[in-house]
Amino acid sequence: MTLRDLVLVRLGVAVNLVIGQIAAALLLPVFLDAVGTILVAALVGPRAGIVAGLVSQVLMAALSGNFSWLPFGIVQVVIALYAALAARLGAFARARTAIAAGLGLGLVAGSVAAPIAYFLFGGATAGGVTVVTTTLRVLGAPLPVAVAAASIGTDVLDKSIAFALVAAILRSLPDQMKARFPVVSR
């Protein structure tokens, strides 16, 4: 990593921590806590994305006091790898392909998060997802199914919005800045 990559990773972490609050202020039912990870993975590459994701997870825990979120750091790693690959394949070039790629990531990330939520926390994790889990369970779904459905459902929505946002950011970059990032300038 170069000093510039380091500064970009710090930016990604800050974006992760701040955009979630904007989403909450808009009363949107999504966390959007990985926009920075996706952005850094797309601009710089998978390694920088992974670092951004893991540091974000640690700092989110530190700022909220909720350290039970730490094991979900592995989801950030998956997000970074997927986003870097998606960028290389040109998924961010258009809003439609970005949203489609985001849907795919939602399935993948939700599938990774669900076992963590189930085995480590018995399905009780962050607020919104747990409410969905509980509702499904009350409606009669078995616990593992309820946890998986809630996790994947929220992630699909969350990640397709996040991918659409990152695609919009990349499209709005001034040409001179674009030229500095080989993946985007192609």
Partner 1 sequence: MTGSSSGGSPLHRAHPYTPLALAGALFLLAFAVSTPRAVGLVVVAGVVLAAVGGVLRHVLRPALVLALPTWGLLLVLHGLLGADPRVVVGPLTLSEPGLARALVLGGRIAAILVAFLTALATVSPPRLVEAMAARGAPFGLIFLLVSTLTLVPRMRARAAQVLAAQQCRGLRIGGSPLARLRALSPLVLPLVLGALAEVDEQVLALDARGAVIGGRRTVLHPPPDSALERVLRWGLLLGILAAYGAKLARGGA
Partner 2 sequence: MKAVVRLRDVTFTYPGAARPALAGLTVELLRGEVAVVAGPAGAGTSTFLLVAAGFAPRLTGGKLTGERELLAARAGIVFATPWTQLSGLCASVRDEVAFGPASLGLPRETVLTAAERAMRRAGAEHLAERDPAALSGGELQRVVVAAALAPAPDLLVLDDPAAELDPAGADELYALLPVLAATGVAVLVATPDLERAARAATRALVLDAGRIVADGETATTLDGTDVAEIARAAGCPVPLPLDVPGLVGRLAR
The interface partner of residue 178, options being partner 1, partner 2, none and the CB cut-off 5 to 8 Å by kind, is partner 2
> Should residue 21 be labelled a site residue for partner 1 when binding is judged by CB under 8 A?
yes
Binding to partner 1 (CB under 8 A) within 119-158 occurs at 120-125, 127, 130-131, 133-134, 137-138, 143
The interface partner of residue 106, options being partner 1, partner 2, none and the CB cut-off 5 to 8 Å by kind, is none
What lies within 8 Å, CB to CB, of 17 at 6+ separation is: 33, 36, 56, 59, 60, 63
CA angle 99, 115, 12 (to 5 degrees): 45
Among 42, 55, 86, 87, binds partner 1 (CB under 8 A): 55
Nearer to partner 1, 35 or 86 (CB): 35
Sign of CA dihedral 165, 168, 173, 174: negative
What lies within 8 Å, CB to CB, of 14 at 6+ separation is: 36
Q: Write the binding mask 51 to 70 for partner 2: x where contact by CB under 8 A, - elsewhere.
A: --------------------
Q: Give the distance, in angstroms, between the CA of residue 36 and the centroid of all CA atoms in the same chain.
A: 8
